[in-house]
Structure 1
Amino acid sequence: MSHPQSPARNGFGVAAFALGLLGLVFSAFPVVGAIAWPLVVLGVAFGVVGLVQARRGQDGRGWAVAGLVLSVAGIAACALWAAVFDRASTEVDDAMEQLEAQADQRSAVVFEVTGDAPAVTVDHSAVGEVEEQVTTLPWRKEFTVKGVLRGGTLGVTTGPDGGTATCRVTVDGVERKTATATGPNARADCSDF
C-alpha cells in the first residue's frame, strides 16, 4: 500500500510571512523603522519565490501571498516615514539657513529723543546699558548691530521742571516704537522694539 505523497513544504512562503510581519511591525516606529527596510525587501523577494514554488506544486501559497501583502504594506510604511523625515530635515535646513543669514545681517538702529523739556534722563540699551543726563534736545544715538536685534530699550524721564519728551526708535529706517512723556518726572518708554 502506498501513501499519497504530500506536497513539499514551501519554506520561502513561511519566511516571507515572518519577514513581512516583523518588517511591518518595525516600520510602525520611526527610528526602529530602519530595521524594517531589509526585512520587508527580503519578504517581497521570498514571497515571489514562494509563489513560484507554489505554482510548481509545493504548498504554502497562502503564506507567500500573506508575506507579500505584509511586506508591501511595510515598504509603504517605511516610505511614508522616509518622506516625513525628509520633509522635516528640509524644513530644519531651511530654518538654519535663515538663522545664519539673520545672524550675519547688519542693522542700523537710531535712538532719538525730542521735545521741549529743559532736562531729561535718557537710558538705553542695544549694545550695553547706558544712562545719560541730557540738557539739550534733540538727542540722537546711532548703532550698527549684527544679528537679530530683539528687546532693546530706550526710555526718557523728564526732570522736575517738566516739559515734553518723545522717544523714538528706528531700525533700518523703519519706526519701531515711539512714546511721549509730559509733565514733571514723567517717563516715556520705547522698549521691546
Structure 2
Amino acid sequence: MSTPHPGGGEPAHGQWAPPHAHARKGRRKWPWVLLAAVLLLAGGCAALVVGLAGESDKTVRVRYEVTGSAKDVAIAYTTWQGGALVTQKESHRELPWRKELETKGFVKGGLLAVTTGKGGGTVSCSVTVNDRRPWTATASGPEATATCSGF
C-alpha cells in the first residue's frame, strides 16, 4: 500500500489516494440542471393554467362561416362546453352557412373543417373570435377539405 502524494497534489499513477480525493472533481451537474428545467416547466404550466382560468370566466363570441360554389358539403366544428372542446357535425349542407355562438370556458385549439362532396366545387371557411382577425382557408375539387384551426 502506498501513501498519499507528499506535496498535496494528485498522486502519481498507481499511488494510493484517499476515497475523497476525487469526489470534488467528478461532482455531477446534470441533476441540478434537470431540477432547474423541471422547476421552470412547472412554473410555466402553472402560469398557463392561471391564465386560462382567467380567460375561461370571460364570455367569448365565435363566428363560423362557410362560403363557396360546392353544392353538398360536410361541416365539422368545435364548440366549448364546460372548458372542453366538443365536435359538432353537419352534413349535406348548402352554402352559405353561418353559425355564431357565445361561450364561456373558451380554450384555444378550435377547428372548422369543410369537405366538398363527390361533385366538387370550392369552399372557404372563416372563423372570427371576438372581432379579431379571422382564420381562413380555401379548398376546391371533389372531396377537398378547407380547415381553419388554432383559434
TM-score range, shorter chain: 0.5 to 0.7
TM-score, normalised by the number of residues in structure 2: 0.59
Is residue 116 of structure 1 aligned with residue 69 of structure 2?
yes
Distance 2:70 2:102 in 1: 28
Question: Which residue of the partner structure matches residue 117 of structure 2?
Answer: 159
- Cα separation, partners in 2 of 1:160 and 1:173, compared to 1, 3 Å: same
Cα root mean square deviation, aligned: 2.2
Question: Which residue of the partner structure matches residue 143 of structure 2?
Answer: 185
Distance 1:185 1:148 in 2: 30
Deviations along 1:91-134, one digit per CA (max 9) or x if unpaired, are: x89x94x5553221111001110011111010111232122113
Distance 1:111 1:187 in 2: 15
Distance 1:155 1:118 in 2: 16
Q: Secondary structure at the match of 1:126?
A: strand
Distance 1:102 1:161 in 2: 42
Q: Size of the alignment, in residue pairs?
A: 100
Equivalent AA in structure 1 for residue 65 of structure 2: E
> Unaligned regions of 5+ residues in structure 2, if any?
1-45, 81-85
Question: Which residue of the partner structure matches residue 102 of structure 2?
Answer: 144
Flag the structure with higher helix content: 1
Question: Which residue of the partner structure matches residue 36 of structure 1?
Answer: none
Match of 1:105 among 54, 58, 71: 58
Q: 1:168 touches 1:175 (CA, 8 Å); kept in 2?
A: no
Q: 2:67 touches 2:123 (CA, 8 Å); kept in 1?
A: yes
Flag the structure with higher strand content: 2
Structure 1 ranges of 4+ moved more than 6 A: none
Q: 2:120 touches 2:143 (CA, 8 Å); kept in 1?
A: yes
> Radius of gyration: which is bigger?
1
Structure number with higher relative contact order (C-alpha < 8 Å, ≥ 6 residues apart): 2
Q: Secondary structure at the match of 2:149?
A: coil
Q: Percent identical across equivalent pairs?
A: 43
Q: Secondary structure at the match of 1:118?
A: coil
Q: 2:124 touches 2:136 (CA, 8 Å); kept in 1?
A: yes
Equivalent AA in structure 2 for residue 156 of structure 1: V
Q: 2:52 touches 2:107 (CA, 8 Å); kept in 1?
A: no
Distance 2:116 2:103 in 1: 28
Distance 1:171 1:114 in 2: 18
TM-score, normalised by the number of residues in structure 1: 0.47
CA shift at 1:174, angstroms?
A: 1.6
